[in-house]
Amino acid sequence: MPHVKQINHVAVVVDDMEKALAFWRDALGMELQELRDVPAEKSQVAFLPLPGSEVELVQPTTDDSGIAKYLAKRGPGMHHICLEVDDIEGMMVQLKEKGIRLINDEPRTAADGKKYAFIHPESTSGVLVELYQI
């Protein structure tokens, strides 16, 4: 039976990366490990690691991306929580069997080889949840 291993990251959507970094990096003292463009998601992501997890700041790079639409509708703030799982395909089957609405029918593969999929907030009391398998 697949299970959740840990919280992998918390993602925060921002409209101004430098302003966000002024808080997370400069005020809190968190290390900025990497600032990466993610063309597949039409976004720029800042990775700020913590022991066992990280904070990701996500800024849209186009006006037509999903992140841009989210930002226009809801404004900056918490975007999603990411749960690391040991078997993403098995977890997706298990969730579907329990009537949970998934955004992705199949896991997607990131540039670094990690598999990911999203669970619709309608099934999670309003929180966008990402599943991640490393």
List pLDDT tens digits, range 28-87. Answer: 999 999 999 999 889 999 999 999 999 999 999 999 999 999 999 999 999 999 999 999
Residue 50 lies in domain: 4-133
Token digits for 13?
A: 């959507």
Whole-angstrom distance, CA of residue 23 vs CA of residue 37 = 21
- Contacts of residues 52-55 at CB distance under 8 Å and 24 or more positions apart, as own/partner, are 52/6, 52/7, 53/6, 53/7, 53/8, 53/9, 53/10, 54/8, 54/9, 54/10, 55/9, 55/10, 55/11, 55/12, 55/24, 55/30
Alpha carbon 92 to chain centroid, angstroms: 17
Residue-wise pLDDT tens digits, 64-78:
999 999 999 999 999
Higher pLDDT, 113 or 60: 60
The tally of domains found in the chain comes to: 1
Express as a percent the part of the chain with pLDDT over 70: 100
Residue 79, domain CATH? 3.10.180.10
Instruction: Determine the residue type at 95.
Output: L
